[in-house]
């Protein structure tokens, strides 16, 4: 059964997204689109969150994904950054829930292992494997979009 998966890498400045179609068995994956939702640093905080919501809603309405995948939050250092990402993640979660799109969460190690075979992979290796797995001509950029595609691939491999 064919499915469309959206992977999301939330962030206040840049929220990555990647949409992949799969045959249901996980072997055939077709890249639909990917990119970032960017919000300007000078904008008021609430306006930035609303922009993420509105752009994501537009993507959901246009591409109609069946399921969504996102990385669980992990922050060892920067609490301020963690709060902004958590707020963006909340906006994303609310938007998906309003559209009745099931959200599946994966740890950073699950995503790295699923995409590259090792939990110690760096961002460059993840990008190379995403390129290979989706038969892309170039590695996906920026890294937020690559991370979103990696989350979607992980979901396809897991389900």
Catalytic residue positions?
9, 71, 144
* CA-CA-CA-CA torsion sign (84, 88, 93, 94): positive
Counts of helices then strands in the chain (DSSP H, E): 5, 5
**Beta carbons within 8 Å of 53's beta carbon, 6+ residues apart:** 91, 94, 95
Give the SS3 label for residue 71: strand
């Amino acid at each position: 059964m064919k499915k469309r998966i959206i992977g999301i890498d939330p962030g206040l400045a840049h929220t990555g997204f990647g949409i992949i179609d799969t045959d249901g068995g996980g072997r055939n994956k077709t890249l639909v689109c990917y990119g970032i939702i960017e919000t300007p640093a000078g904008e008021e905080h609430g306006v930035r969150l609303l922009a993420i919501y509105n752009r994501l809603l537009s993507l959901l309405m246009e591409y109609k994904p069946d399921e969504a995948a996102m990385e669980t939050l992990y922050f060892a250092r920067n609490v301020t950054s963690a709060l902004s990402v958590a707020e963006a993640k909340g906006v994303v979660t609310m938007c998906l829930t309003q559209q009745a799109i099931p959200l599946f969460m994966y740890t950073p190690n699950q995503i790295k292992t699923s995409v590259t075979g090792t939990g110690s992979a760096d961002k460059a290796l993840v990008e190379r494997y995403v390129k290979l797995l989706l038969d892309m001509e170039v590695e996906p950029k920026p890294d937020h979009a690559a991370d979103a595609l990696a989350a979607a691939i992980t979901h396809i491999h897991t389900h």
